[in-house]
Amino acid sequence: MQFRIGFELIYACPQPTPMIITLTVHHSRASELVHPDHLITRPALPLRGYRDGFGNWCHRIIAPAGRTTLTVDTLIHDSGLPDPVDFAAQQHPVQDLPEETLVYLLGSRYCETDRFYDLAWQLFGHIPPGWQRVQAICDYVHRHIAFGYEHANPTKTAWQVYQEQRGVCRDYAHLAITFCRCLNMPTRYCTGYLGDIGTPQPWGPGDFAGWFEVYLGGQWHTFDPRNNARRIGRVLIARGRDAADVAITTSFGPSTLESFKVWMDEVPAIAA
């Protein structure tokens, strides 16, 4: 199947403002794009692209005083299959982990592992390590947090999420990531598009989604405590330690997000 994916973001800046934009489809899905997801700016601005330390493709711009519109609109092929499952995936002893995974065992901006070690082992230490333990963490986080866009807060950490018991998808992911790291499983934050295919209507307005990946059985596996289900049409944009590493935009000066639109729609198949 194919999806139409894209966004339109409008920022207002009182003065010229440098920005970093991390909104390009991840290189692991780039070959499935029908045509490149070129970033279009209005007014037209010079773009400087680079790969960050996690391999994500980023752009740099200087947004002028006034309004700047950022737009992508493209098509992507997708298998139409739900997130894969591997119930037999086992946890690695720390001494056997590849070096590149070790950074994802450590605390980070939004995932304060030092606050959670005792609680994590108390809640999940009795569950067999591996897929079953990660799923138990997702089940717990899914039940523990009440979802609501009104609960979004860009400074909210996993510890605050645990105490307040409310948040948005990134908060679910941060809390689950923190528990997993405390239990010695490398875990990284992911952001991207997520379609509504296979879920009951009515569907809410489009948004970017946050989930996470855990290193088990020699590879990374997708988990999503917000939805707590295997979903269809997940398109990765970026990975990092937590949301601080994959912010959709980072402004080095005052800016206001005046309009936010995201879409991911199934493209009807054309009969032969």
54-72 core/surface letters (b: 16 or more CB in 10 A; e: else): bebbbbbbebeeeebebbb
pLDDT confidence bin for 37, thresholds 50/70/90: very high
How many structural domains comprise the chain?
A: 2
Give the separation between CA 30 and CA 51, rounded to whole angstroms.
14
**Is there a domain that residue 141 lies in?**
yes
* Res. 269: pLDDT tops 90: no
Assess whether 61 and 145 both reside in one domain.
no
**Is there a domain that residue 131 lies in?**
yes
Assess whether 238 and 258 both reside in one domain.
no
* Res. 246: pLDDT tops 70: yes
Mean local confidence (pLDDT), 148-173: 95
Assess whether 7 and 49 both reside in one domain.
yes
Mean local confidence (pLDDT), 121-141: 98
- What was the pLDDT predicted at 76? 97
> What's the CATH number where 255 sits?
2.60.40.2250
Assess whether 144 and 74 both reside in one domain.
no
> What's the CATH number where 233 sits?
3.10.620.30
Cβ atoms of 249 and 13 within 8 Å: the answer is: no
Give the separation between CA 232 and CA 139, rounded to whole angstroms.
19
Assess whether 241 and 158 both reside in one domain.
yes
**Is there a domain that residue 88 lies in?**
no
**Is there a domain that residue 101 lies in?**
yes
* Res. 272: pLDDT tops 90: no
Assess whether 213 and 170 both reside in one domain.
yes
**Is there a domain that residue 89 lies in?**
no
Domain of 237 in residue numbering reads as: 94-245
Mean local confidence (pLDDT), 199-203: 78
Q: What pTM, to 2 d.p., does this model score?
A: 0.95
**Tens-digit pLDDT profile for residues 59-96:** 999 999 999 999 999 999 999 999 999 999 999 999 99
Of 219, 197, 195, the residue nearest 209 (C-alpha): 195
Assess whether 171 and 133 both reside in one domain.
yes
**Is there a domain that residue 138 lies in?**
yes
Assess whether 218 and 263 both reside in one domain.
no
Assess whether 241 and 252 both reside in one domain.
no
- What was the pLDDT predicted at 259? 96
Assess whether 224 and 101 both reside in one domain.
yes
What is the pLDDT of the chain when averaged over all its residues?
95
Assess whether 181 and 59 both reside in one domain.
no
- What does residue 134 show for φ and ψ, rounded to 5 degrees? -65, -40
pLDDT confidence bin for 56, thresholds 50/70/90: very high
- What was the pLDDT predicted at 41? 98
DSSP characters over 107-141: -BTTB-GGGTHHHHHHHHTTSPTTHHHHHHHHHHH
* Res. 271: pLDDT tops 60: no
Assess whether 10 and 142 both reside in one domain.
no
Mean local confidence (pLDDT), 220-230: 96
Q: Residue 33 has what DSSP assignment? A: B
**Is there a domain that residue 272 lies in?**
no
**Is there a domain that residue 87 lies in?**
no
CA 186: distance to chain centroid?
Answer: 16
